[in-house]
Amino acid sequence: MFGMGFTEILLIAIVAILFLGPDKLPGAMVEIAKFIKSAKNAITDVKTSLAEEVNIDELKREALSYKEQLDSASRELQGFKNINPMDTLNDEFSSVKENFAAMTQAKPEEKTSEVSATQVEPKQQKEISFKKKTVKETTINDIKKENESSDS
């Protein structure tokens, strides 16, 4: 006990008997036992509180690692700008609509930097005239005769 041998404990007991006397020795021994018991309880309380602190420290580290994982996952998800495909379609449709509006409103002589479409040549105004064939009376009569002869 406490790194003391039997002879050392015996020497301490003899000195205690001499100074305290036989009447006060049992009460002193009870007080010493209570002191040792309270010291042991205090040491175990300190050990458990240290163990809890170490456990809390480990829990904090684990929680921080989970937080880092969540942060990295959220940063990765923020990289995906358009998760909803309808948003992508709406954006593309609006850009096509703007391009179409710009193309239809631009005059052929103007060159717009936004629209990069090929220029269509303006419509040429040509007059197309058909020559009328004049049909002679004799030709119509000849056709009527042919039709009558074929019917009979």
Q: Are 149 and 143 in contact (CB under 8 A)?
A: no
DSSP calls for 64-93 = HHHHHHHHHHHHHHHH----SHHHHHHHHH
Highest mean pLDDT among 72-86, 91-105, 117-131: 91-105
Lowest mean pLDDT among 7-11, 44-48, 93-97: 93-97
Q: Are 28 and 35 in contact (CB under 8 A)?
A: no
Tell me the pLDDT tens digit for each residue of 62-72. Answer: 899 999 999 88
Judge residue 126's burial from the number of C-beta atoms within 10 Å of its C-beta, 0-12 exposed, 13-18 middle, 19 or more buried: exposed
Note the pTM of the prediction, 2 decimals. 0.34
Mean pLDDT along residues 16-25: 83
The Cα–Cα gap between 24 and 95 comes to 102
Mean pLDDT along residues 101-127: 62
Reported confidence tier of residue 87, pLDDT bands at 50, 70, 90:
low
pLDDT of 115 over the 70 cut: no
Mean pLDDT along residues 65-92: 76
Reported confidence tier of residue 94, pLDDT bands at 50, 70, 90:
confident
